[in-house]
């Protein structure tokens, strides 16, 4: 027997339509407390299809808490009994964010097939690379076949074209078998416009605030208790029912929450409580552009207690230094001094003036905050896909600069994250693609994209059409590339760097005080000290000698041959990096 429950506080009647071998059966639901309706159906079990009908209408609505939408976001829901899946990860004890190397992965373009099962076939590659956890771009149900996933409307359901809930479980189980954790990217700041039925059930949205996506999710207006419970239950379901190890919260700066207990603190507290119950670490990382330490400061010190946050400043500093780009939000970045600041403190904007914003921005992170709470990257889905043609760093940087970028990222005190294919310098672009089926929506997205980049000099024919299936197909990884000489060599470089991060304790030391930078802006060299390890970088095009405070006795990794090291200096080719170990000071 299954019990069906639905929150519909404004409904006068609610009916449940259940599919059966003899046809559909309608069950009238009983009103409970605080807008909840319920009914027991003895015949319903795992695999039973169902839908709700409000106030005697004719429109069937999918369950807002549905885990399975086999016919898409507009179709009937299907019951899932999580006990029917046979997990093999009982010995899995989880992973911690501290010390980990992350890997951002989009299921639909990671393999030609674009499914969880196909992705399982590439997990050995990630294990050999040394990845600790994959971060899946959103896999909750969204309209159409393919897309980035950030316009999802089913916050509990797993996108059917990827393999549905069973496919996700198989993927997580297989990842754990290889010692790899899984982080789920979740979007709670908005829902997509197509297939979003939540507003018909109750006050899930409020017009108190206006966001870039329309009315805000109701976090503090009347009825918000159940809306917040809906979000919390969704968050915990990915960890409890699908065995994921962490969450990445999308754009939390868009949350509009005036309550004394902020939703972020409530999410962190709930996740940590579940982790204690499950006896393995569970963590929450947020994306925010506020540069506010409050996200990761402990609640007893006035913060929200999240485990980490994305650090765009560190990305901007690294990318602008390597690429020379200065437009848009890169305007305050690009100098080696700014890069050194990011590597030693995380935030660049700490309350000073932001030219891009035209105002002061951010505040300093307390120096006692461990550096691993910052997740940073040279590439990610936004920093590639939101470029006009989705070109990767491999299309912009020389092989030498790619290797320098990898070395600075993977030896940093911050938690490093790679974007799929970055490890071999993938030449396939990763473009903005959609599959909107609602009338007019695809046209609006296409024209909006063209108008956005027209302001920067791009012609309409230069910007890929998001709705064209070819845009999606172009964005899939080419798995023949890693076997080719240039790509294979870069892949080996990433493996060596991740191996060093495991081997040399100084490279996972989370204390900011353990990071020191010296540099010469004009000569374009940089030395990053991590305890007894020095990362010596020559950004100039010509060979030069870089002064070094210490005596190197070993060079476990170098991006180019022909370097020499001696007391007090390292000589190396242009656009290259040498990682050295130093003798302890005498006495």
Residues 392 and 451 reside in one and the same domain: yes
- The total of other beta-carbon atoms located within 10 Å of residue 285's CB is 25
**Which residue pairs, CB below 8 angstroms and at least 24 apart, start in 208-213?**
208/256, 209/256, 211/254, 211/256, 212/254, 213/189
| pLDDT interval class at 457 (50, 70, 90) | confident
- Structure token pair of residue 572: 């190396």
Dihedral-angle region of residue 367 (phi above 0 means left; psi in -120 to 50 means alpha; beta otherwise): alpha
Residue range(s) defining the domain that contains residue 56: 1-60
* Any domain includes 587: no
Total domain count, the chain: 3
pLDDT digits (tens, 9 = 90+) for 524-535: 999 999 999 999
312 is in an annotated binding site: yes
386 is in an annotated binding site: yes
Catalytic residue among 132, 135, 265, 287: 287
| Residue tagged 């885990």 (tokens) | 67
* Any domain includes 546: yes
* Any domain includes 84: no
Q: Where does residue 324 rank: exposed (0-12), middle (13-18), buried (19+ CB within 10 A)?
A: exposed
Report the pLDDT averaged over residues 551-565.
96
Residues 424 and 542 reside in one and the same domain: no
DSSP notation for 63-82 = -TT-S--TT-TTS-EE---G
- Structure token pair of residue 178: 């290889």
211 vs 479: which has the higher pLDDT? 479
| pLDDT interval class at 285 (50, 70, 90) | very high
109-136 exposure pattern, b = at least 16 Cβ within 10 A, e = fewer = bbbeebbbebbbeebeebeebbbbbbbb
Collect all residues with Cβ–Cβ distance below 8 Å to 108 and sequence separation of at least 6. Answer: 114, 146, 147, 161, 162, 472
* Any domain includes 73: no
11 is in an annotated binding site: no
Model confidence, pTM = 0.97
What is the DSSP pairing of strand 374-377 with strand 415-419?
Answer: parallel
Q: Of 280-294, 301-315, 439-453, 486-500, which range is least confident?
A: 439-453
Q: What percent of the chain has pLDDT over 70?
A: 99
* Any domain includes 24: yes
316 is in an annotated binding site: yes
Is residue 553 pLDDT above 70, yes or no?
Answer: yes
Q: What angle do CA 356, 357, 363 make, to 5 degrees?
A: 110
Q: What is the 3-state secondary structure (H, E, C) of 463-532?
A: CCCCCCHHHHHHCCCCCCHHHCHHHHHHHHHHHHHHHHHHHCHHHHCCCHHHEEEEEECCCCEEEEEECC
Residue length, the chain? 587
Residues 429 and 545 reside in one and the same domain: no
252 is in an annotated binding site: yes
159 is in an annotated binding site: no
What is the DSSP pairing of strand 214-217 with strand 374-377?
Answer: unpaired
> So what's the pLDDT on residue 186?
98
315 is in an annotated binding site: yes
- Structure token pair of residue 357: 């914003």
Residues 246 and 324 reside in one and the same domain: yes
Our CA dihedral for 231, 69, 81, 279, rounded to 10 degrees, sits at: -40
C-alpha atoms less than 13 angstroms from C-alpha of 253 in its C-beta half-sphere: 11
C-alpha atoms less than 13 angstroms from C-alpha of 562 in its C-beta half-sphere: 9
**d(Cα 421, Cα 423) in Å, to the nearest integer?**
5
Is residue 133 pLDDT above 60, yes or no?
Answer: yes
* Any domain includes 148: yes
CATH number of the domain enclosing 531: 2.60.40.1180
Residues 426 and 375 reside in one and the same domain: yes
pLDDT digits (tens, 9 = 90+) for 151-198: 999 999 999 999 999 999 999 999 999 999 999 999 999 999 999 999
Q: Which of 474, 475, 469, 466 is nearest to 447 (CA)?
A: 466
**d(Cα 50, Cα 235) in Å, to the nearest integer?**
23
pLDDT digits (tens, 9 = 90+) for 347-359: 999 999 999 999 9
**d(Cα 562, Cα 120) in Å, to the nearest integer?**
40
* Any domain includes 133: yes
425 is in an annotated binding site: no
**d(Cα 498, Cα 410) in Å, to the nearest integer?**
7
Is residue 586 pLDDT above 70, yes or no?
Answer: no
440 is in an annotated binding site: no
> So what's the pLDDT on residue 60?
98
Catalytic residue among 173, 250, 423, 465: 250
> 94 φ, ψ to 5°?
85, 180
Is residue 3 pLDDT above 70, yes or no?
Answer: yes
CATH number of the domain enclosing 48: 2.60.40.10
**478 assigned to active site:** no
Residues 474 and 564 reside in one and the same domain: no
* Any domain includes 209: no
384 is in an annotated binding site: yes
- The total of other beta-carbon atoms located within 10 Å of residue 1's CB is 8
250 is in an annotated binding site: yes
- The total of other beta-carbon atoms located within 10 Å of residue 351's CB is 12
Report the pLDDT averaged over residues 457-485.
94
> So what's the pLDDT on residue 372?
98
Is residue 587 pLDDT above 80, yes or no?
Answer: no
383 is in an annotated binding site: yes
**Of 44, 60, 76, which residue constitutes the final position of a domain?**
60
Q: What is the mean pLDDT of the chain?
A: 96
Report the pLDDT averaged over residues 321-337.
96
**250 assigned to active site:** yes
Residues 335 and 481 reside in one and the same domain: yes
Alpha-carbon distances, residue 219 vs 65, 250, 533, 537 (angstroms) = 18, 16, 47, 48
Query: Rounded to an integer, what is the distance from CA 364 to the centroid of its chain?
Result: 24
pLDDT digits (tens, 9 = 90+) for 225-278: 999 999 999 999 999 999 999 999 999 999 999 999 999 999 999 999 999 999
- The total of other beta-carbon atoms located within 10 Å of residue 464's CB is 22
CATH number of the domain enclosing 266: 3.20.20.80
C-beta of residue 29 within 8 angstroms of C-beta of residue 15: yes
Is residue 1 pLDDT above 80, yes or no?
Answer: no
243 is in an annotated binding site: no
Residues 139 and 236 reside in one and the same domain: yes
Residues 360 and 243 reside in one and the same domain: yes
Residues 323 and 390 reside in one and the same domain: yes
Is residue 203 pLDDT above 60, yes or no?
Answer: yes
Residues 520 and 406 reside in one and the same domain: no
Residues 137 and 284 reside in one and the same domain: yes
**Of 41, 60, 79, which residue constitutes the final position of a domain?**
60
**Of 500, 531, 553, which residue constitutes the final position of a domain?**
500
């Amino acid at each position: 027997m299954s019990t069906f429950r639905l929150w519909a506080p404004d409904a006068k009647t609610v009916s449940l339509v259940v599919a059966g071998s003899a046809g559909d059966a309608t069950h009238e639901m009983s009103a409970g407390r605080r807008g909840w309706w319920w009914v027991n159906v003895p015949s319903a079990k795992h695999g039973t299809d169902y839908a709700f009908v409000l106030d005697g209408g004719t429109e069937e609505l999918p369950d807002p808490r549905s885990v399975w939408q086999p016919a898409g976001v507009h179709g009937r829901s299907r019951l899932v009994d999580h006990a029917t899946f046979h997990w093999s990860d009982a010995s899995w004890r989880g992973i911690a964010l501290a010390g980990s190397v992350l890997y951002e992965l989009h299921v639909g373009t990671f393999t030609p097939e674009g499914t969880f099962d196909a992705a399982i076939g590439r997990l050995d590659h990630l294990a050999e690379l040394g990845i600790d956890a994959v971060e899946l771009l959103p896999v909750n149900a969204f309209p159409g076949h393919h897309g980035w996933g950030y316009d999802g409307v089913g916050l509990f359901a797993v996108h059917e074209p990827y393999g549905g809930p069973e496919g996700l479980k198989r993927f997580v189980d297989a990842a754990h078998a290889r010692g790899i954790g899984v982080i789920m990217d979740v979007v709670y700041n908005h829902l997509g416009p197509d297939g979003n039925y939540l507003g018909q059930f109750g006050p899930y949205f409020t017009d108190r605030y206006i966001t870039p996506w329309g009315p805000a999710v109701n976090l503090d207006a009347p009825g918000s208790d159940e809306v917040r419970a809906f979000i919390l239950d969704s968050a915990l379901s990915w960890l409890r029912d699908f065995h994921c190890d962490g969450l990445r919260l999308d754009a939390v700066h868009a949350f509009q929450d005036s309550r004394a207990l902020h939703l972020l603190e409530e999410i962190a507290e709930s996740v940590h409580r579940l982790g204690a119950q499950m006896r393995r670490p569970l963590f929450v990382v947020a994306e925010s552009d506020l540069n506010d330490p409050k996200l990761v400061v402990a609640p007893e010190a006035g913060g929200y207690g999240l485990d980490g946050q994305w650090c765009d400043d560190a990305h901007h500093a690294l990318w602008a230094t390597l690429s020379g780009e200065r437009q848009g939000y890169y305007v305050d970045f690009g100098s080696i001094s700014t890069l050194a600041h990011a590597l030693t403190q995380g935030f660049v904007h700490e309350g000073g003036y932001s030219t891009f914003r035209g105002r002061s921005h951010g505040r300093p992170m307390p120096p006692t905050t461990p550096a691993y709470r910052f997740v940073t990257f040279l590439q990610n889905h936004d920093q590639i896909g939101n470029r006009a043609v989705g070109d990767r760093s491999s299309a912009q940087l020389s092989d030498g600069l790619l290797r320098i970028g990898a070395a600075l990222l993977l030896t940093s005190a911050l938690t490093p994250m790679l974007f799929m294919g970055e490890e071999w310098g993938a030449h396939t672009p990763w473009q903005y693609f959609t599959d909107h089926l609602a009338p007019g929506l695809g046209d609006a997205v296409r024209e909006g994209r063209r108008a956005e980049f027209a302001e920067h000099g791009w012609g309409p024919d230069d910007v890929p059409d998001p709705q064209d299936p070819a845009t999606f197909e172009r964005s899939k990884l080419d798995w023949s590339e890693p076997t080719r000489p240039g790509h294979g060599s870069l892949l080996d470089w990433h493996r060596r760097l991740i191996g060093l991060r495991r081997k040399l304790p100084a490279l996972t030391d989370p204390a900011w005080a353990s990071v020191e930078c010296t540099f010469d802006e004009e000569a374009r060299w940089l030395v990053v000290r991590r305890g007894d390890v020095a990362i010596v970088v020559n950004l100039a095009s010509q060979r030069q000698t870089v002064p070094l405070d210490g005596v190197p006795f070993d060079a476990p990794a170098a991006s180019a041959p022909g370097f020499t090291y001696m007391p007090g200096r390292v000589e190396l080719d242009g656009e290259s990096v040498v990682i050295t170990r130093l003798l302890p000071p005498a006495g």
